[in-house]
Structure 1
Amino acid sequence: MIATMLFSTTVAVSQMKVRDELPEKYKWNLSDLYATDEAWRAEKEKIQQKMQEVTRYQGKLTQSAATLLEALSFNSTLIKDMVRLSSYASMKSDQDTRVTKYAGMKQEMQQLFAEYGALTSFMEPELLTLQEEQLNRFFTQEKELTTYKFYLTDLLRKRAHRGSEEVEKVLAYSSLMSGNAANIFSTFSNAEFPHAEIDLNGERIKLNPANFALYRASEDRNVRSKVFETYFRKLNEFQRTFGAQLYGNINAALFATKARKYESTLQRALDDGNIPTAVFHNLIKNVNGNLETFHRYLNLRKRMMGLDTLHYYDLYAPLVEKVDLAYTVEEAVENILKSLKPLGTDYINVSKKAFNERWIDMYPNEGKRSGAYSNGSAYDVHPYILMNYNGKYNDMSTLTHELGHTMHSYLTNKKQHFANADYSIFVAEVASTLNEELLNDYMLQQIKDDKTRLAILGNYLEGAKGTLFRQTQFAEFESMIHDRVAKGEALTGEDFDQMYLELTRRYYGHDKNVCIVDDYIKSEWSYIPHFYYNFYVYQYATSFTASTALSEKVLRGTDEDRRRYLDFLSAGSTKYPVELLVDAGVDMNTSEPFDLTIAKINKVMAEMEAILTRMGK
């Protein structure tokens, strides 16, 4: 159903300043984790005492299968409980980053993990003395030990990148410092950054991230231009600070890379999932080889908006004039649940629990962390979703995206032991982007009106732009800055500005007059939190291509195709991510997923161009 909610209602909700004014049903219920802060504190102190017991296994891990099983079970249970503590502190902080109490609790958890890492620094060096024959004998003697088979065999695979007990202890303690750059960035950006205020249509607006996201999509081009320039020029006033933070983060990654004896920060980041660096480089190569497809989209946007010249600040505006796709939360939920029908009743019923049982923190409030995420790390409870819902189609799409993550975590947590419940970042975005594909497909089935259909098809292209092309551009930027620091160069905010602007202009065809990238866009890198995750973003793009291939099987394939996909969502880390995707029905070792995605993007553009021609535009 197409929503008819007035745009002004959406703005009013998005600008609620005080969290207490929001209805409880739109706020997540963190008491499912701990009833009170005091309960959290008591559990933390209990775990802090309990973790000292791990040292009783020192020097004994390889003596017998029974001892090894006992030690791994103790370790797994303790980490599970620590992660739950960490989730509570982190999400409490995210709902209002200005509250120093919860920022302090987050820091306490960093210290606790570092302390436990030091206590267990003996474990992996001892385990690395295991030989394959001895390990197989242990598996035979203790059947329950097979729960940890993937972890143990993967650890032995990475034997060359592990150090002595003393080295491992130093690396554990280094975590006290390694996250500082990211923490400072998050605190400064979300809690202390002095966001500019601007006059928009006679109203004084603080241009925080939520309002930037809202007003950059304005139909008024003057508003968009003013919002972009004001937001990015304010960022650039702190270019030196942002530059120092990002440079510090790269150096932390470089330290770990050298200590672990990897050839590059990229190799280290990908090795956790046993992913060849060729997958990363091939993505960048393939996208750069298909920039004409991206430019075709940009020229289509220019045509649809009736512009002589397309600017970067035009990229978030509605593609279709006077088609304001606005949805209340309730309307979004209805559309999402109907779109998930191909995944079956069980999938839908759990999704309803997420919406009805306060797993979701829906609306923005002053001090709340920007953006959106799903946190599925509370193994014994349920996943949570943070949103900053503004009532647009893109917000509905983001909601089903995060629901995909939540369902992935939920199904994995239900099926797998905690030791295998985590899943690689490489596959993490498959479930989320496939949910978006299902929503787009459902909405297109309901809509026959040319203008509205153009808007929905355009939303798919927006996803392709933001997920495949934009994230690959981010990945290439990461590769460039990490390579330069690895060569001994000291990078400043000014250097990041220059590199980012040149790269962005190449991707968007600035010199070909496809899309003008104004000078102030050079500051965009400084508000992207993903650059602190070290080679995370490329996986949005690879997942987008994988989900394109898998969505065809879910929508138009057999029951067996759908069963294989749901099995994939329940598989956790029982295999390497590339192998899991093969089991699901897509091979990332080939170019097929990428080629299918480019073909679909061009097919969508061809349909849109035909509609425009039919409409006489």
Structure 2
Amino acid sequence: MEFNFIPNLLHSTQTATATLPTREQIEEKYKWNLKDIYESDDKWDKDFEWTNKNLIRFSDFKGKLSSSPSVLYACLMLDEEIGIKLEKLSLYAMLAKDSDMRVSRYHAMDDRIKNLYARALSESSFIKPEILSIEENQLRKWIEENQELKIFEHYFDDILREKPHTLDSDKESILALSSEIAQVPYNTYSIFTNADMKFPFIKDEFGSDIQMSHGRYYAAMYSKDRAYRERAFKAYLTPYKEYVNSLNSLFTGNLKANIFYAKVRKYNSAREAALSKNNIPVSVYDNLVETVNQNFAPMYRWAKLKKELLGVEKLHPYDIYVTLFDQKYERKYNYDEAVELVLNALEIMGDDYHNSLRKAFNERWIDVYETVGKRSGAYSSGTTYGVHPYVMLNWTDLLNDVFTLAHEMGHNMHSYYTGLTQPFHYANYSIFLAEVASTFNESLLLDYLIKNSNSKEEKLHLLERYLNNITSTFYRQVMFAEFEQTVYEKTEKGEALTPEELCNLYSSLFQKYWGPSMFVDDEESFTWSRVPHFFYNFYVFQYATGMAASETLAHKVKTEGKPAIDSYITFLKAGSSDYPINVLRKAGVDMNSPEPVLSVTKKMNSILDELENLL
């Protein structure tokens, strides 16, 4: 049994207004329609009770899977039936909770489904060990002779691959029961930083008093008022600094939980365990970090140019995102305008893809605006079998929001096509593939905007946007990946990670990635404590590999046309029917090679050349 959720919090922004609107003040068309999942909370409760009562049916199959192919198939069908219910229940509870994190009812529902899911994992934990107990030749024979089992062939291959790391059924049951406890650090972190943490009030760029928030911080980082940026930067990180000991405890608790599971399953490291789930070689991770460490020159070049164009003595972290050019050419984009831009940019993908996008926009799959109590950031819900995917935004009318929309709709279409095409047990895809679809859309959007720019100044802004995208989606994520690798390795060696050590490590990496033009403020060293992705267990490196792959695929679409488009749509439909490395290889990208990584660093240099020629 698998649980599918693809969180993504990149590119979150928010307007700096005195007070946030309530959910009731937002037009219905800008709020996701949860009735597509359940008509009411009561319907959710009924499905919950059905699932709760039917978990006992797993006991009918325990100890019997090796008896016949029909028994094995019947058990897999029950696992699928339960899994579909759990995914719908979880999706509804998560989206309802994230809509307003002050509502205790939906926190309770979210807790209930997590408890139920833990029970389901425990009740079904015998399945993989019993499949592994079947003699492999016998299992292969059953697959060949029974058409019903044939569709599970890759599923069985994946189980057999993990045989050295799979325990007996009793131990698997214990580990499944412990999964709820392992989620405590992240769940506590999420509630604390989104609902309980209080930010200070500051003067905005117009002299008005505003309370800092997650979204307002991001919006402030684009302000041309440097003093305001500095105030916002320091105010935003103040509570993280004040509560660093508690945040450190949650952070290290999450590390230790993942290390525990890796050791119990006899992996060499938590990193190997995390990557093994999708059969990603550790060498892919190492290749990414090492190749980037040998190619900091474009980043240093960009930092030096930023410093010169801003005319500052020292470049600070709060100078990273502000435009270098005249803001009168920096447009605001309301959501409806952005929808049309994304549709126009992706028209190159053909009618089928384009019509699917329109369906998502027209049928309320997206929650657009920040409201009181709403979760910060942006994400796509991933594939939930039998239900369309959802997208959460926090819209602020910035160009960055337009790219966030394109990014999340890349995830959304990936989930949509996979859910339409694959059976339940393949109707998900790894994060390794997910970030290809999202950055692919961003690349096509940027190309469209540059081609349709009306002036030199507008083109400069867009080229700058491209460079900032590479900075945040590629280099920054590799920096996060190197930080994550280091803290796990230190913990696995038995070293205690104090807040001071984490701050020093993060600060030194930030300096290394930005180079001599950057001055690292003390506040920046606490940024490790505000990155929720560090709780996702070796997640962030896939943003960078995804961008490297998407640059290759976007180039193919632009130069080869329909054959490349068809190949890309096939990629979106593949789900987990093959290992992600193979899915990408079939689409024309080999992530075992440094070439896709180098393609991004070379692209950054070429964009810098183009920008400097315009200056």
In the TM superposition, 1:162-181 aligns within 5 A as 162-181=166-185
Checking the alignment, whether the CA contact within 8 Å between 1:363 and 1:388 is kept in structure 2 is yes
In the TM superposition, 1:301-340 aligns within 5 A as 301-322=306-327, 323-340=329-346
In the alignment, structure 1 residue 239 sits paired with structure 2 residue 255: no
Structure 1 range deviating more: 319-328 or 358-367: 319-328
**AA matched with 1:358:** R
**AA matched with 1:546:** A
- Could you tell me which of 517, 521, 530 is aligned with 1:518? 521
In the TM superposition, 1:98-497 aligns within 5 A as 98-200=102-204, 201-322=206-327, 323-497=329-503
Structure 1 range deviating more: 449-458 or 13-22: 13-22
Distance in 1 (alpha carbons) for counterparts of 2:31 and 2:595: 42
Distance in 2 (alpha carbons) for counterparts of 1:15 and 1:543: 37
Distance in 1 (alpha carbons) for counterparts of 2:504 and 2:269: 23
Distance in 1 (alpha carbons) for counterparts of 2:562 and 2:105: 50
Checking the alignment, whether the CA contact within 8 Å between 1:257 and 1:264 is kept in structure 2 is yes
Per-residue CA distance 1:48-75 (angstroms, 9 max, x = gap): 1112111101111121111111111110
Deviation at 1:451, TM superposition (A): 1.0
In the alignment, structure 1 residue 538 sits paired with structure 2 residue 541: yes
Distance in 2 (alpha carbons) for counterparts of 1:578 and 1:378: 23
Distance in 1 (alpha carbons) for counterparts of 2:27 and 2:449: 29
Distance in 2 (alpha carbons) for counterparts of 1:448 and 1:611: 14
CA separation of 1:12 and 1:278: change in aligned 2, threshold 3 A: closer
The number of residue pairs the alignment matches comes to 600
Distance in 1 (alpha carbons) for counterparts of 2:421 and 2:202: 51
Distance in 2 (alpha carbons) for counterparts of 1:96 and 1:286: 42
Checking the alignment, whether the CA contact within 8 Å between 2:473 and 2:547 is kept in structure 1 is yes
**AA matched with 1:606:** D
Deviation at 1:284, TM superposition (A): 0.7
* SS of residue matched to 1:456: helix
CA separation of 1:546 and 1:601: change in aligned 2, threshold 3 A: same
- Could you tell me which of 545, 550, 553 is aligned with 2:553? 550
- The residue aligned with 1:615 is none
Per-residue CA distance 1:231-257 (angstroms, 9 max, x = gap): 112310001011000000001101101
Checking the alignment, whether the CA contact within 8 Å between 1:233 and 1:523 is kept in structure 2 is no
Per-residue CA distance 1:193-237 (angstroms, 9 max, x = gap): 011111223211111101111112111111111111121123100
Deviation at 1:353, TM superposition (A): 1.2
Uncovered stretches (5+) of structure 1, i.e. residues with no partner = 1-9, 613-617
* SS of residue matched to 1:181: helix
- The residue aligned with 1:573 is 576
- The residue aligned with 2:3 is none
Distance in 2 (alpha carbons) for counterparts of 1:15 and 1:391: 17
Distance in 2 (alpha carbons) for counterparts of 1:595 and 1:11: 36
Deviation at 1:15, TM superposition (A): 4.9
Q: If the length of structure 1 is used for normalisation, what is the TM-score?
A: 0.95
Structure 1 range deviating more: 434-443 or 446-455: 446-455
Deviation at 1:484, TM superposition (A): 0.8
Structure 1 range deviating more: 590-599 or 174-183: 590-599
Distance in 2 (alpha carbons) for counterparts of 1:109 and 1:150: 29
**AA matched with 2:115:** Q
Distance in 2 (alpha carbons) for counterparts of 1:253 and 1:12: 38
Deviation at 1:494, TM superposition (A): 2.4
CA separation of 1:250 and 1:286: change in aligned 2, threshold 3 A: same
**AA matched with 2:203:** D
Per-residue CA distance 1:474-494 (angstroms, 9 max, x = gap): 011101111111111222322
Deviation at 1:495, TM superposition (A): 2.2
Checking the alignment, whether the CA contact within 8 Å between 2:222 and 2:323 is kept in structure 1 is yes
Distance in 1 (alpha carbons) for counterparts of 2:98 and 2:533: 16
Distance in 1 (alpha carbons) for counterparts of 2:455 and 2:312: 23
- Could you tell me which of 35, 38, 41 is aligned with 2:39? 35
Distance in 2 (alpha carbons) for counterparts of 1:148 and 1:312: 50
Distance in 1 (alpha carbons) for counterparts of 2:495 and 2:343: 51
Deviation at 1:356, TM superposition (A): 1.1
Distance in 1 (alpha carbons) for counterparts of 2:15 and 2:166: 52
- The residue aligned with 1:4 is none
* SS of residue matched to 1:274: coil
Distance in 2 (alpha carbons) for counterparts of 1:13 and 1:381: 35
Per-residue CA distance 1:590-611 (angstroms, 9 max, x = gap): 1111122211111111000000
Checking the alignment, whether the CA contact within 8 Å between 1:199 and 1:205 is kept in structure 2 is yes
Deviation at 1:325, TM superposition (A): 2.5
* SS of residue matched to 2:203: strand
- Could you tell me which of 69, 74, 89 is aligned with 1:70? 74
Checking the alignment, whether the CA contact within 8 Å between 2:18 and 2:210 is kept in structure 1 is no
Structure 1 range deviating more: 370-379 or 403-412: 370-379
**AA matched with 1:240:** N
Distance in 1 (alpha carbons) for counterparts of 2:445 and 2:19: 27
Distance in 2 (alpha carbons) for counterparts of 1:355 and 1:305: 39
Distance in 1 (alpha carbons) for counterparts of 2:224 and 2:371: 24
Deviation at 1:310, TM superposition (A): 1.6
Checking the alignment, whether the CA contact within 8 Å between 1:305 and 1:321 is kept in structure 2 is no
Distance in 2 (alpha carbons) for counterparts of 1:15 and 1:431: 35
Deviation at 1:124, TM superposition (A): 1.3
Checking the alignment, whether the CA contact within 8 Å between 2:132 and 2:159 is kept in structure 1 is yes
**AA matched with 1:88:** Y
Distance in 2 (alpha carbons) for counterparts of 1:600 and 1:499: 29
Checking the alignment, whether the CA contact within 8 Å between 1:96 and 1:368 is kept in structure 2 is yes
Deviation at 1:452, TM superposition (A): 0.7
- Moved >6 Å (runs of 4+): none
**AA matched with 1:438:** L
Distance in 2 (alpha carbons) for counterparts of 1:359 and 1:300: 41
**AA matched with 1:392:** L
* SS of residue matched to 1:128: helix
Per-residue CA distance 1:518-545 (angstroms, 9 max, x = gap): 1111111111100000100000000000
Checking the alignment, whether the CA contact within 8 Å between 2:222 and 2:321 is kept in structure 1 is yes
- Aligned alpha-carbon RMSD (Å): 1.3
* SS of residue matched to 2:488: helix
Distance in 1 (alpha carbons) for counterparts of 2:408 and 2:19: 22
Deviation at 1:418, TM superposition (A): 0.9
**AA matched with 1:581:** L
Checking the alignment, whether the CA contact within 8 Å between 2:270 and 2:488 is kept in structure 1 is yes
Distance in 2 (alpha carbons) for counterparts of 1:13 and 1:35: 34
* SS of residue matched to 1:594: helix
Distance in 2 (alpha carbons) for counterparts of 1:15 and 1:399: 24
Distance in 2 (alpha carbons) for counterparts of 1:457 and 1:489: 44
Distance in 1 (alpha carbons) for counterparts of 2:18 and 2:530: 20
Deviation at 1:458, TM superposition (A): 0.9
Deviation at 1:448, TM superposition (A): 4.0
Distance in 2 (alpha carbons) for counterparts of 1:101 and 1:204: 33
Uncovered stretches (5+) of structure 2, i.e. residues with no partner = 1-13
- The residue aligned with 2:9 is none
* SS of residue matched to 1:205: strand
Distance in 2 (alpha carbons) for counterparts of 1:130 and 1:154: 15
